[in-house]
A and B are shown apart, each in its own frame.
Chain A
């Protein structure tokens, strides 16, 4: 049995958080932070929404938001 309700939205998107910064590549101010799946696994990025340049790009957990129970038990 699932422990979360069935989504009501037609499509699901990762949540994007606005970031107060200016893009060093194009000068745009619409910067958002969100996870992306790319070569090498998941990454936390802060991306300019105009030109898509990444302001920051750091490796995220390999399985995204899923954290296996065994990895947290001490």
Chain B
């Protein structure tokens, strides 16, 4: 099994054979992005593998940096600026700033320049009736202009096309006639949901992703086959569900943002094995820490996500929130002379001062190195040595009256405090009691920083999984193939409208089963809807519909499911209010092969044998002695009292004083406060 996580700097390739994990890192290439993936596959020997699961931030980075192909946007005449206005929501800090502009507006960096956004004379009503017929002569005139501008793709989003796609389908035919060979996405197939702005931005992203990924995926498939790979190439979507690559390319907006969700599903999988259902997940990277939540074994999935403020995509995605604190976060001095950590980052180049690549500002990694936690000779698998004198010089150069010892100590404590604050924010936002939750700490720096969060938060425990630096890539080998369809229609649930809802579900289920063919045989269809109380303008997403027929007889159960979901989210319920359905969804889960954690037999804790002693500085008033261990040598049941350091090839775990670590049955490190 292969899992590949293509990042902006490095491509992580993980292979699992007979329970053993092999890994390689290849520098990502903008010129030949598929080349780095193929190189990683060649190094680890992909021939004979069953699956090759792929996640990439290539599309997301292209959108964020606006390295985009030239695409046009066609919409109903009079609506071409919907892409510019967004939802009109302003962020809180821009409420009173008259100079604030949307990052994707005409005055900033639009996805589609205004001259390529063209109005087409046509109009369908919200009931699907034709108010104005499609003016084909005018449409051809606009397309001729686009032909002269040599656009590579066309996104079409006509108002109310989600109710009746007739005009969009005809317009797509005209595009194929006038602009042969140009990629086209239409909103009624890409994302046939109400709300025209989200539908429009999703359709634009979809055609951009088609252009970015079509050649890439084809090249990847061919070259992997050339290496002897004859298994299934899958792409991960924004919720880290897998899709066969051909299926993913039919609506590629879903694979825009695959990386962060993989860590969450990895936590779900490991949590299931070790009997943990309530987990807060924290992925500590170089620049940021991504936090997500799992309740009762299920990640929190949302029906839209924002690439930038108000740049919304209608894709099912795992909710992930970020804070600008990670291993590479820069240490700066405030105007009053205090120490600040983040949100700026040294990135991979030049990196922290101790990398010796030209970085002169201190970072969190420099602080942890000076504390004695990091091994200067064994960093990143021994790939390069860390220079503690460069870290010291960087901290000494800070223009602050704070003593050197306090600079280092405060850097470490502030980084942990920023992460702990975000973890608490996520817990509070979801209304959960943090005492019932384990914190899964991963990313190469997760085990190094997050156990200290136990001193700040009343968490049940901190768990450092096996291979924490590769945990997200392993997540790509911990998930299933998920196929879904969705449609919108505003229907008040009552005896009159329920048959319409049933018809929508029957149509979607038939379409989904036809798409999947034999692969769907015997598999249940999960049905859900986004609904609201009549009169509201926001929806409760993912209300599950009970199995069985949808009819006037089962209506009370369906409405009851909505009121239960409403109460779970909002804390109150209004059973007498009628319910209105907005978006309907069907989903089939096809189980995929997953990484297997071997569970050791239950044993009583026993003291672990240390490799040696080391000196930790800036932890207490005076330097303290601590034991250090090699993770590879620690068997399940091994118990370690803090202060202690556990080292492995790609990461380090630091157990502060007053904490106790035990190796769990799957090889995970479980850290608790001794007083608890």
Contacts and interface: CB of A to CB of B under 8 A. Distances in A.
Nearest to A59: B107
Interface in B85-107: 101, 105-107
Interface in A2-55: 25-28, 38-40, 48, 50-54
Given A25-B115, A52-B115, A53-B115, A40 B107 contact: yes
Contacts of B105: 39
A52 B119 CA distance: 13
Given A51-B149, A52-B115, 16 more contacts: A25-B115, A26-B148, A26-B149, A28-B148, A39-B101, A39-B105, A39-B107, A40-B101, A40-B107, A48-B115, A50-B148, A51-B145, A51-B148, A53-B113, A53-B115, A54-B115
B487 interface: no
A25 B151 CA distance: 10
Contacts of A51: 115, 145, 148-149
Dominant secondary structure of chain A at its interface with chain B: loop
Interface in B104-161: 105-107, 113-115, 145, 148-149
Contacts, number: 30
B84 interface: yes
Contacts of A25: 115, 148-149
Contacts of B115: 25, 48, 51-54
A50 B145 CA distance: 7
Among the interface residues A25, A27, A54, which one has the most CB atoms of the partner chain B within 10 A? Answer: A25
A32 B149 CA distance: 18
A27 B150 CA distance: 10
A31 to B, nearest CB: 13
Interface residues of B, number: 11
Give the interface size bracket for A toward B: 10 to 19
Interface string A42-74: 000000101111100000000000000000000
Contact of B149 (A38, A40, A53): A53
Contacts of A26: 145, 148-149
Contacts of A40: 101, 107
A41 to B, nearest CB: 9
Contacts of B149: 25-26, 51, 53
B83 to A, nearest CB: 12
Contacts of A50: 145, 148
Contacts of B145: 26, 50-51
A71 B54 CA distance: 61
A74 to B, nearest CB: 28
A38 B114 CA distance: 11
A25 B84 CA distance: 21
Contacts of A48: 115
Contacts of A52: 114-115
Contacts of B84: 39
A67 to B, nearest CB: 22
Interface in B510-532: none
